[in-house]
Structures are given as C-alpha cells and as structure tokens.
Amino acid sequence: MCNNILDTECDNKDLFEAAITHPSYTQEHELSPLESYERLEFFGDSVLKLFSSELLLKKYPDYDEGKLSKIRSFLVSDATISKIALEIGVNDIIRLSESEEKQGGRKRESNIACAFEAILGAYYLDGKQDAVKSFLEYQLSKYIEEIDNHFERYNSKAILQEYTQSQTKELPEYEVVSVTGPAHKPIFEVQVTYCGKILGQATGSTKKEAEQNAAYKACEALGIIKES
C-alpha cells in the first residue's frame, strides 16, 4: 500500500487505509461503513477549503470575499482536484468493490476527488499539517491564475443561467449528444438548448466539462461573453 502519496509517509496506516476505501468495498466485504473514506472525506473537504482560502488571501490581498469565494469554488471543485489526484496516482490505489471496478469507478471523477479529500484528512489527523499545506500550495498554484484569468470560461453555466432567467422563466437544458473514445478515457459531446434552440455544442473529458464548454459557446453566441 502506497501511503506516502503526498511525498511524505502517513504513519497511521488505519487512517490511510480508510481514506482509500470506497463505500462499495466495505459493503462487498461486510465491513463497517465507518471503514470507508466518507468520514475522512467530510473532514478533508474542510482541510482543503482552509488551506486554499489561506492561499487565496495571500495571493489576492485586494479581492473581496465574493470574488475569493467564486475562485475557490472552482479551485476546490471535483473537476480540479480530480486532476491533481490523477497526477499523483490516487485512482491507482482506491479500494473498490468488484462491481464498482467493472463500472469504471476507478476513473470516475467523484470517486477520485472524494478519496483525495479523505487522504488530505488522514494526513492532517496524522499530524502532517505542514506537509498537506506545502503539497496543496504547490498543486493549487498551478490552477489559481488560470481560473482567475479565464473566470468567464469556468463560470459559463452560471452566467448563461443568469442571463436566461433575466429573459424568461425557462432554463438552459444540457444533453449528451455522444460519448466516444475508450472506456477509460471518454470524450463527452454536449449541446445546450434554450427555448427549443441549440445555442452551443462542445466536448470535454467529463460531462461537467463538456457542459461548461457548451455553455461558454452559448454565451459567445448570445454576446454575453466576448469571443476568445
């Protein structure tokens, strides 16, 4: 078991083992639900938000709470942290049930993100707060400026919905048009419609990413966001 995934060892092996255990695994092996990553994920989510908030406060001393909150929401989203988790191999060490494994659970964004947060929680409780802080500062710094500089792209779904609600009571609707590529690396194609009209269509490595990209195309078409 690789328990030095944050470049330092987690001494409490029980904590680390729980952090990488999917709930389906505890069900399959008739273990207590408390032996899955859910409790540690609950705590690790707070750890992630704490350190990311501190990082943002230092980097942007002139930003108000509203703007910091918006940047943080994307910084700690499943889409972002699952990328970090994949980079360090969290998906390779998650313990899954046979059924979840067959259904592609090892590549599922939510599973990877949850396990990552649980690992952060395990390390924090193991007394490795400094290691967690250093790791997150290095990893999150890669994304902060990208999110800040291209915020409209990251926030396209919210921008589109705000616009449509100002026009009518109807909301944008997203539909997966196709899924191509191998099972372990699918490409989703999504279209967004409003009042029966297709406004945008785009692809992404996850359904959420494809929806965000389609919304961005729609915002461009409507003139809400200037073209790139």
Provide the CB-side half-sphere exposure for 29 (13 A, CA): 16
Residues with Cβ within 8 Å of residue 110, at least 6 apart in sequence: 78, 82
pTM given for the model: 0.80
- Selection from 52, 91, 94, 84 nearest residue 70 by Cα: 52
The residue assigned the tokens 């372990």 is 184
Coil, helix or strand at residue 59: helix
pLDDT in tens, 33-46: 999 999 999 999 99
Instruction: List, for residues 172-214, the tens digit of each pLDDT value.
Output: 999 999 998 777 678 899 999 999 999 999 998 888 889 999 9
Q: Say if residue 98 is exposed, middle or buried (CB neighbours under 10 Å; 0-12, 13-18, 19+).
A: exposed
Catalytic residues: 45, 117
In single-letter form, the type of residue at position 42 comes to F
pLDDT of residue 108: 87
* Angle, in degrees to the nearest 10, between helices 109-125 and 129-149: 140
